[in-house]
């Protein structure tokens, strides 16, 4: 059997474009799973520090303040004039009001979060989606709502990502909600593969290429 037939189908079963879409969607799910840690596992270690990433949404910000906020990437957060183990990793903005130029800011923070009393905290503040959060560096202060939050895998690597964890999250409707399970499962069916095989092979491909991708990214950053 030809690898690609006259209709452009791989092994005569699935169109190459459809296959690429399936792989991309599964890659997105796997990438998110890479960043998300198991809450139950984290909860078992009361008081221990976990790497957390969360995004604070701040609406109706004047354009000049929004522009200044973008200069804070890489800055550490402070509380009571003391630097805490948290830093801003990304700042992006969207138009909030086109008439006056006000913006909505999405500020992403990476921090060491402690688990005490069944809640995660960074410094004295709770990290929960929907909670009010004060973002303060040595140079500016804004208050918004936590828009998204996740624990990070300790290794930050795809190489130790487990199929069991990905499958469990895959079944949750709230996990990677923008990825169509129907499309993914239809792609697996067209390949005559069980879903588990598709997920496994995608994770393996990501793990196999991780070192090369990291080298290319590092080379680009140092260029």
- Domain assignment of residue 219, yes or no: no
- Residue 164: what pLDDT? 76
- Domain assignment of residue 220, yes or no: no
- Taking 70 as the pLDDT cut, the residues of the chain under it are 1-49, 150-161, 169, 172-179
The partner residues of 143 in beta bridges, in order of sequence, read 134
Query: DSSP letters of 160-222?
Result: T--HHHHHHHHT-TTTTTTS-HHHHHHHHHHTT--HHHHHHHHHHHHHHHHHHHHHHHHHHHH
- Domain assignment of residue 166, yes or no: yes
Last residue of a domain, one of 121, 151, 181: 151
Distance CA 189, CA 183 (A): 10
Last residue of a domain, one of 151, 169, 197: 151
Q: Which residues contact 165 (CB under 8 A, 6 or more apart)?
A: 33, 38
Per-residue pLDDT of 69-92, as tens digits, reads 999 999 999 998 899 999 999 999
> Do 90 and 122 share a domain, yes or no?
yes
- Residue 204: what pLDDT? 81
The number of folded domains in the chain is 2
> Do 19 and 91 share a domain, yes or no?
no
- pTM equals 0.51
Per-residue pLDDT of 38-56, as tens digits, reads 333 333 333 456 888 898 9
Note down the domain range covering 163: 9-36+157-208
- Domain assignment of residue 92, yes or no: yes
């Amino acid at each position: 059997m030809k690898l690609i037939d006259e209709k452009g189908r791989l092994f005569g079963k699935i169109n190459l474009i459809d296959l690429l879409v399936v792989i991309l969607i599964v890659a997105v799910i796997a990438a998110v799973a890479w960043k998300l840690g198991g809450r139950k596992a984290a909860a078992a270690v009361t008081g221990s520090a976990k790497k957390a990433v969360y995004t604070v949404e701040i609406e109706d910000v004047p354009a000049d303040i929004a522009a200044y906020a973008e200069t804070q990437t890489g800055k550490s957060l402070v509380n009571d004039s003391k630097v805490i183990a948290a830093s801003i990793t990304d700042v992006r903005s969207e138009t909030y009001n086109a008439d006056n130029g006000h913006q909505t800011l999405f500020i992403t923070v990476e921090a060491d979060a402690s688990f005490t009393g069944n809640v995660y905290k960074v410094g004295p503040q709770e990290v929960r989606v929907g909670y009010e959060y004060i973002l303060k560096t040595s140079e500016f202060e804004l208050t918004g709502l936590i828009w998204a939050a996740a624990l990070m895998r300790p290794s930050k690597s795809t190489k130790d990502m487990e199929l069991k964890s990905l499958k469990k999250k895959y079944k949750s409707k709230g996990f990677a909600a923008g990825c169509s399970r129907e499309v993914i499962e239809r792609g697996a069916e067209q390949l005559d593969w069980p879903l588990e095989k598709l997920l496994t092979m995608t994770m393996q491909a990501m793990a196999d290429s991780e070192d090369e991708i990291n080298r290319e990214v590092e080379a680009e950053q140092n260029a």
